[in-house]
Amino acid sequence: MIERTLAILKPDCVRKNLTGAVIARIEKAGFKIIGMKKTRLTQETAGAFYAVHKGRPFYDGLVEFMSSGACVPIALEKENAIADFRTLIGATDPAEAVPGTIRKDFADNKGENIVHGSDSPENGKIEIAFFFSVKELIEVI
Ligand code: UDP
Ligand code: MG
């Protein structure tokens, strides 16, 4: 099934000048970019995006990190996008990620792990709508 997923190139990715390298991997894997922007999250917006993790020990640090600099949200479309993107980025902790995955190759640690990916088709839709209006999404041609 054709699915949509939200990627976020996190502030560590931007700081390390790796946005181009990560986008190249995403495109090489067959994902179509249907929306992309550069923005900086406030603590409030970062907290709302990760609200599902509120109360977990890493939540405050995550909010701090995600609002620490610019990030690049990208709306992606592809057959089987959710699972295929999670495979492309690898495990949350780069130490546990498979070689050749984005997190294994570029991330420093479990918190600063370069890229976000949605975990279900439903959350993909919700998360894309968090960052993009319908008008900002381009049909795949
Ligand atoms: N995170 C963290 N410590 C943890 C678990 C998660 O710092 O023990 C951060 C990390 O940046 C991760 C994000 O919180 O990407 C969201 O966690 P989730 O379990 O949803 O991982 P993901 O879906 O990003 O692989
Ligand atoms: Mg997650």
State the pLDDT at residue 81.
98
pTM of the model: 0.98
The reply to whether 116 belongs to the active site is yes
Cα 93 to ligand 1 centre (Å) = 8
CA distance 74 to 36: 4
Domain boundaries, the chain: 2-41+71-136
Widest CA span of the chain, in angstroms? 43
Tokens 């609002």, residue located: 67
State the pLDDT at residue 125.
98
Nearest to 85 by CA among 59, 110, 121, 111: 121
State the pLDDT at residue 17.
98
Choosing among 1.10.3720.10, 3.30.700.30, 1.20.1050.10, 3.30.70.141, the CATH entry for 2-41+71-136 is: 3.30.70.141
Cα 139 to ligand 1 centre (Å) = 30
State the pLDDT at residue 140.
75
Q: Do 95 and 17 touch, CB atoms closer than 8 A?
A: no
Residues with CB under 6 A from ligand 1: 58, 62, 92, 110-111, 113, 116, 119
CA distance 3 to 139: 13
State the pLDDT at residue 139.
85
Mean pLDDT in each 10-residue stretch from start to end of the chain (141 residues)?
Answer: 98 98 98 98 98 98 98 98 98 98 98 98 98 94 70
Task: State whether residue 38 is helix, strand or coil.
Answer: coil
State the pLDDT at residue 37.
98
